[in-house]
Structure 1
Amino acid sequence: MSIKKITTAVAIIDRITEAIGNFAAWFNLLLMTIVFVVVVLRYGFGFGSIAFQESAIYVHAFIFLAASGYTLKHNGHVRVDIFYCRFSSKTQALINCLGSLFLLIPVVLFIGWMSWSFVFESWRIYEGSSQAGGLPGVFVLKSFILVMVATLLLQGIGEFLRAILIIKNQDTPSNESINEGAA
């Protein structure tokens, strides 16, 4: 694969990841509203709703799982960088390249493989809440696992390709050029 194609692929992946992350971020407003309403209804009016409480869980799960690729792109995941931060950018890129290839991508594929039947079975029976008055869409909630697999795998490939560009002393697409391309 040529350097130009790799650079283009990284830019496209980054744009997709940014769009998904920005979309998921708006759900924080919905989550805050739901939690606020749940608290006001429960403590202000003595009214509780299992469905409302579960909807907060659903929205939180969507935000957390859909934005996993965005978080990876912005280095927001936990990293033990006692030594990493002292390495040159090429050595960091080599670590990222090997980490993506031998850890991130295989683990994400394993999660996808192991959860596929779990999600499929939930859809097959249209699984609902085990709580009386809960939401009927547990199958949708479980599907967010596959959303995480897709977003994290896509950005994992992007990070692998970005590391290759750095190792080959090539410029990588910056966040500014990504945002300009989206405008």
Structure 2
Amino acid sequence: MSSLAPWILAFTTPVVAGVFLLAGSQMSRRTILDQEKLRLEREKDARWLADRRGVYVDFLSNANDCIVLLYRSTEETYEKSALLKAAYALKTSMMALQLIATEPVRETAAKISNTIGDRMHLVASTSGLFNVDRELPGDMHEALEEFYDATRLELGVQEPTRRVVIPLQPRWSTWFAGRR
């Protein structure tokens, strides 16, 4: 029996070491795959956030261009092609926004787009023949604020915290002044 013990130890030691080696390599492989999956998800979220941010900025930029054209256009400086081009850019950015935005953002964007589009259509259809009121309705500012709030909520932007500045005590300010 004593001659059998060294043979069993000689056989089982490499087997046990091999099992631990395979188990360790599988655990490290699994850990690496999990880390890679988390990295890819973070990159996808960051890319998706950047895409949404770009679409929202494009929509606001086109809306601002349309508003500026409406306010600048008078009977003397009226350019129908510029109005139509700006309206087209606003509608195409609205279509891109409709694809990726949530419901509150889509509703407020549609309100903005429809108001601006109706006013631009009215100005472009009169061809400068009538003195058309180019002013946007008073609730346009509120609609823009609703859009900003909805996009901030969707993008997860929190309001910046106010920095509290603690004034120096007079005795410290004199102490610092003497040490400069």
Calculate the TM-score normalised by the size of structure 1. Answer: 0.30
Greater RCO (Cα-Cα under 8 Å, separation 6 or more): 1
CA radius of gyration, larger in: 2
Calculate the TM-score normalised by the size of structure 2. Answer: 0.31
